[in-house]
Amino acid sequence: MFFGIEWDTSSQWAFAVSIFPILLHGLVVTLEATVVGFFIALILGLVLAALKSAPTRIVRWPAKLLTEFIRDTPLLIQLFFLFYVLPEFGITLPAFLTGALALGVQYSAYTSEVYRAGLEAVAKGQREAARALNLAPGRTFTHIILPQAIPRIIPALGNYLVSIMKDVPVLSVVTVLEMLGVARIIGDRTGGYLIPLSMVGALYLVMTIIASFGVRYLDTHLPKRGLSLK
């Protein structure tokens, strides 16, 4: 029994059917962690991107080094680090939030590069034209650069959203009951790993196929010439 739902081990089909709602409980947690982690990654990435394009080297270089460091070290270790080290500084977060924070930190390194690449991909002539037309730098950014960068940025971010979803099972090591963790517990208690683990794999496949359709839709349907922010 798990989440108050009994499993039926009379036959393999009955077992698969009976654990499906239990796995869905885990699936909800997986999706929640994905969304919260992604949201943190979006914001932290923006901060990193801003620091990396700061006018002084004293800010720019450490930010670049930090991005490189975050990107080159495993999520699992970052997660353990946050999980065991934060409480020593008096910050005690629930396991779920620690996990989402770890996902957000890891992927902020990637999202910051997405922002940077998206902004740099806007043709130089656009900036020059805006300057020639005497537009203020702030207006140039919000009215000229950003509208053209967004259609490039959004699909790339979508791909990282899918990657985050695939990394959520790592959070099970700090007792977050996401889908894989739930499947393992079912396996531990019944001795039958094959069905729950295969079902998790199949559910992941379904989710990533849906998500990749979504990303492709965004990629083809966002206006290529720019998204008006007005």
Partner 1 sequence: MEWTSYLAPLSQGAWVTVQLTVYSTILGGLLSFLFGLGKLSHNPLVKGFSVAYIEVFRGTSLLVQLFWIYFALPLVGQAIGIDLRFPPVVAGVVALALNIGAYGAEVVRGAVQAVPKEQYEAATALNFTSRKRLWRITLPQAIPEMMPTFGNLAVQNLKDTALVSLISLGDMAFRAEQIRNFTQDSVTVYTLVLLMYFGMALVLTAFMKLLERYVGRWRAAGR
Report the residue number, 192 or 222, with the smaller CB distance to partner 1: 192
Number of residues lying near partner 1 (CB under 8 A):
36
Pairwise CA distance, residues 193 & 186, whole Å: 8
Binding status of residue 77 toward partner 1 by CB under 8 A = yes
Q: Which of 64, 34, 37 is nearest to 49 (CA)?
A: 64
Burial-class residue 191 by CB neighbours within 10 Å (0-12, 13-18, 19+).
Answer: exposed
Q: How many CA atoms lie within 13 A of 113 on its CB side?
A: 13
Nearer to partner 1, 28 or 209 (CB): 209
Residue 72 touches partner 1, criterion: CB under 8 A: yes
If one asks whether residue 201 binds partner 1 (CB under 8 A), the answer comes out as yes
Buried b (16+ CB within 10 A) or exposed e, 155-178: bbbbebbbbbbebbbbbbebebbb
Q: By CB under 8 A, tell whether 29 contacts partner 1.
A: no
Closest approach of partner 1 to the CB of residue 193, in Å: 4
Q: Which residue, among 106, 104, 97, 100, has the nearest Cα to 77 in the 3D structure?
A: 106
- The dihedral built from the CA positions of residue 57, 62, 63 and 65, taken in this order, carries a sign that is positive
* 226 phi-psi bin (left φ>0, alpha ψ -120 to 50, beta other): left
Minimum distance from residue 66 beta carbon to partner 1 (Å): 11
Which of residues 127 and 214 has its CB atom nearest to partner 1 in the complex? 214
Is 91 a binding residue for partner 1 by CB under 8 A? The answer is no
CB of 88 to partner 1, least distance (A): 6
- Give the Cα separation of 45 and 59 in Å (integer): 15
Amino acid at 108: S
Residue placing its CB nearer to partner 1 in the complex, 12 or 142: 12
Nearest-approach distance from CB 218 to partner 1, in angstroms = 18
Q: Does 193 sit near partner 1 (CB under 8 A)?
A: yes
Residue from 31, 35, 50, 81 binding partner 1 (CB under 8 A) = 81
Q: Which residues here bind partner 1, judged by CB under 8 A?
A: 69, 71-78, 80-81, 84-85, 88, 165-170, 172-173, 180, 184, 187, 192-194, 197-198, 200-201, 204-205, 208-209
